[in-house]
Each structure stands twice: as structure tokens, then as C-alpha cells.
């Protein structure tokens, strides 16, 4: 019971710290929310009235208390760009990011883990060298450049994939959004032409993010596996005559999976935070593009609301990875 209470206290303090950071960042940036609302031609009386209505004339700690109470109710204020509640806007754009990030992490983890294991088993050989080069390229080459080159080659030249956006404009209003994830909504509606269009548009940015996460996950998997393959229990298992495949996949990988869970969770969180450059290059209407457009237009309610969602995702996935860590490794319980 005490450990559970400490767990809840740590979550509460972490989230309170996140709220404090976003609030004070919103107050120190050189953007006047009153000016953004009323414009630079408003009179001093109008600006004073709006400042009072927003509560900006109150002490900073009082403003922070009001801010925390509103956020805990799910109230992030209204967006200056859309005039809608920020929470409503985020609920509209987040499924696009969720769809893109999920495809990316499925590719990254689904290929990165076995490739990392293979590289560790074949350490120093050609396969290992090729995989290390592939990972180095994934780390080094700017993701926006890969996206632009991918569009030029696979969309403009070869026509293998769809262009920018989530779906062809002909199908944009033909499917009623249910989950907000186009592949699911089009399949549920039986709109297979629209499904193929959504899949074609998702293919290139999904593969790009998948390659980006694959480079990280495969490298970490290789590192964890090299450590496990050098342990004494592996030597003992080989001495007992166990097959190499059983040693690698059933014993070494099982132990390496404990820290690997955290790596995959954080990689997924990194993709869910918006993948701003990828969404910008592919005109993908997700959370990253929403935050970027809001920042460019001084829409601080939307920026802070999106930042809080990103931070909450990181907190939630960190907590989930900690719980999985405890389930996979009894020594940590």
C-alpha cells in the first residue's frame, strides 16, 4: 500500500511539474496573448478589458492555480486560429498522429528487434557492418531530407505512393470519421478505394518513421544482446548442449527484453509527440503540424495544450514501461 501511495505521489508531482513548466514557458515567451486576440490597433481600454477577462492582471501564483484547475477539467482554453476549444482541436488532429506513429513503431520494433539480434549474433561480420551502417544513416541523415527525396522519387517519379496529405481529395469527405484513424474508418465503412488511397498516403511517411525508429531500436537491441550473450548463463547453456537458436531467442532475448521495453516505449512516445518535420513535409494534419502552425500564429493556448498532451504521453508511456519492467523482471518487484 505504501509503495502504491508513493507511486501515485510521484505521478502527481511529475504532472504538477509538467503543468508548472508549460505555464511559466507560456508567460516568458515574447508573445502577448492580449495583442494576439485584439490586434495591434486596439485601444488601451480594450486591451485592459481583455487582460482582465483572461485573468492576466492577477498575481502569477493565482494565475497558475486557475490554470491547473482548468487543465484538470480538460479546459485548455480556445484556439485563436479555429475559435474552437483546444481540447476539441487536439481530439480532431491526434488520431492522425496516432495512426502514423503506430505504423512507424510497428515497423521499427517489428524489424529492429530481430535485426538487432541478428547483428549481435553475427558480430563483426558483414551483416553486422551493414546493419550498423544502416543505423548510422538513420541517425545522421535529416528526416525532412529523406522525406523530400522520398516524395520526389516514389511519388513524383515512380508514382508508387500517395502524395502529401492523408487521403486523395476525392475521398476526403466520403467516409464518416468514427475513430479518426482512416485505415480503420474506411475498412469499417467498406470503402475499399478510399482505404487504398489512405494506405498509399500513409506508406511513405510510415516507412520513413519506421526506418527512423528501427535505426535506434536495432542499435539498442544489438547492445543489449551483446551484453547478454557474454553472460555466464549463456556459456553454461552451450555447455549443456542447448541449440544456439534456443539460447539466443529464448534465454538471451528474454533477459534483453527487460530494458528493451523502455527503449520501445520511449521511441513510440517520440513518434507520438508529433514528428513535426515529417508531418510538415507530408502535410500530415496531426498534432505536430497543429502545434507548429499554432506557434507560428502566436496561438499560445493551442501550443500549451499540445505541449501538455505530449508531456502526458511521455509520462504515461514511462509509467507503462515501468509496470512492464516489473512484470518481466521479478527482481524489481
In a domain, 80, yes or no: no
Dihedral sign for Cα atoms in the order 79, 287, 18, 24: negative
Same structural domain, 158 and 45: no
Same structural domain, 51 and 127: no
Tell me the C-alpha distance between 97 and 197, whole Å: 17
Same structural domain, 220 and 197: yes
Same structural domain, 68 and 212: no
In a domain, 273, yes or no: yes
Same structural domain, 40 and 119: no
Same structural domain, 263 and 152: yes
Find which of 22-31, 125-134, 317-326 is predicted with most confidence, using mean pLDDT.
125-134
Residue 70 contacts residue 252 (beta carbons within 8 Å):
no
Q: How many residues does the chain have?
A: 333
**206-220, 259-273, 287-301: which has the minimum mean pLDDT?**
287-301
pLDDT band at 294 (very low <50, low <70, confident <90, very high): confident
Tell me the C-alpha distance between 153 and 149, whole Å: 6
Same structural domain, 109 and 50: no
Tell me the C-alpha distance between 281 and 240, whole Å: 55
HEC readout, the chain: CHHHHHHHHHHHHHHHHHHHHHHHHHHHCCCCHHHHHHCCCCCHHHHHHHHHHHCCCCCHHHHHHHHHHHHHCCCCCECCCCCCEHHHHHHHHHHHHHHHHHHHHHHHHHHHHHHHHHHHHCCCCHHHHHHHHHHHHHHHCCHHHHHHHHHHHHHHHCCCCCCCCCCCHHHCCCCCCCCCCHHHHHHHHCCHHHHHHHHHHHHHHHHHHHHHHHHHHHHHHHHHHHHHHCCHHHHHHHHCCCCHHHHHHHHHHHHHHHHHHHHHHHHHHHHHCCCHHHHHHCCCCCHHHHHHHHHHCCCHHHHHHHHHHHHHHHHHHHHHHHHHHHHHCHHHC
| pTM for the model | 0.84
Mean pLDDT score across all residues of the chain: 84
pLDDT band at 330 (very low <50, low <70, confident <90, very high): low
- Mean pLDDT over 266-289 rounds to 83
- Mean pLDDT over 149-175 rounds to 86
In a domain, 78, yes or no: no
pLDDT of residue 8: 77
pLDDT band at 217 (very low <50, low <70, confident <90, very high): very high
Tell which residue, 29, 50, 52, 55, has the closest CA to residue 39.
50
Same structural domain, 166 and 110: yes
Of 39, 72, 105, the position where a domain reaches its end is 72
Domain of 18 in residue numbering reads as: 2-72
- Mean pLDDT over 84-91 rounds to 90
Q: How far is CA 255 from CA 219, 221, 234, 306, in A?
A: 16, 11, 11, 36
- Mean pLDDT over 139-167 rounds to 87
Q: Provide the percentage of residues in the chain whose pLDDT is more than 70.
A: 94
CATH of the domain at 233: 1.10.3720.10
pLDDT of residue 221: 93
Of 45, 72, 99, the position where a domain reaches its end is 72
In a domain, 275, yes or no: yes
pLDDT of residue 199: 92
Residue 167 contacts residue 194 (beta carbons within 8 Å):
yes
Same structural domain, 127 and 272: yes
Same structural domain, 186 and 240: yes
Residue 103 contacts residue 208 (beta carbons within 8 Å):
no
Q: Would the pLDDT of 279 be above 60?
A: yes
Residue 79 contacts residue 294 (beta carbons within 8 Å):
yes
Please write the tens of the pLDDT for every residue from 95-127: 999 999 999 999 999 999 999 999 998 888 888
Same structural domain, 7 and 108: no
Same structural domain, 29 and 104: no
Q: Count the domains in the chain.
A: 2
Tell me the C-alpha distance between 25 and 31, whole Å: 11
Helices 86-121, 192-229: inter-axial angle, 10-degree rounding:
50
In a domain, 79, yes or no: no
Of 46, 72, 98, the position where a domain reaches its end is 72
Amino acid at each position: 500500500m505504501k509503495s502504491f501511495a508513493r507511486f501515485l505521489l510521484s505521478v502527481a508531482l511529475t504532472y504538477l511539474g509538467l503543468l508548472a513548466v508549460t505555464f511559466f514557458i507560456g508567460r516568458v515567451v515574447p508573445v502577448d496573448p492580449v495583442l494576439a486576440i485584439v490586434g495591434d490597433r486596439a485601444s488601451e481600454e480594450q486591451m485592459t478589458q481583455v487582460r482582465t477577462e483572461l485573468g492576466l492582471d492577477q498575481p502569477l501564483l493565482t494565475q497558475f492555480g486557475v490554470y491547473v484547475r482548468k487543465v484538470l477539467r480538460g479546459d485548455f482554453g480556445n484556439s485563436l486560429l479555429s475559435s474552437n476549444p483546444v481540447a476539441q482541436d487536439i481530439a480532431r488532429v491526434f488520431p492522425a498522429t496516432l495512426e502514423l506513429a503506430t505504423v512507424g513503431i510497428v515497423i521499427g520494433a517489428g524489424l529492429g528487434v530481430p535485426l538487432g539480434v541478428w547483428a549481435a549474433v553475427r558480430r563483426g561480420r558483414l551483416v553486422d557492418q551493414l546493419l550498423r551502417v544502416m543505423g548510422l544513416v538513420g541517425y545522421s541523415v535529416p528526416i525532412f531530407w529523406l522525406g523530400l527525396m522520398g516524395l520526389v522519387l516514389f511519388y513524383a517519379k515512380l508514382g508508387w505512393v500517395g502524395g502529401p496529405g492523408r487521403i486523395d481529395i476525392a475521398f476526403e469527405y466520403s467516409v464518416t470519421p468514427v475513430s479518426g484513424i482512416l485505415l480503420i474508418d474506411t475498412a469499417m465503412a467498406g470503402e475499399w478505394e478510399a482505404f487504398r488511397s489512405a494506405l498509399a498516403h500513409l506508406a511513405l511517411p510510415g516507412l520513413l518513421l519506421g526506418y527512423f525508429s528501427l535505426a535506434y531500436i536495432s542499435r539498442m537491441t544489438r547492445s543489449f544482446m551483446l551484453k547478454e550473450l557474454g553472460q555466464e548463463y549463456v556459456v553454461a547453456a552451450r555447455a549443456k548442449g542447448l541449440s544456439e537458436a534456443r539460447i539466443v531467442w529464448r534465454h538471451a532475448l528474454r533477459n534483453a527484453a527487460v530494458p528493451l521495453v523502455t527503449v520501445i516505449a520511449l521511441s513510440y512516445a517520440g513518434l507520438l509527440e508529433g514528428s513535426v518535420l515529417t508531418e510538415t513535409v507530408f502535410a500530415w494534419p496531426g498534432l505536430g503540424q497543429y502545434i507548429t502552425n499554432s506557434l507560428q500564429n502566436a496561438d499560445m493556448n493551442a501550443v500549451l495544450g499540445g505541449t501538455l498532451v505530449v508531456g502526458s504521453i511521455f509520462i504515461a508511456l514511462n509509467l507503462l514501461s515501468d509496470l512492464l519492467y516489473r512484470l518481466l523482471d521479478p527482481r524489481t518487484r
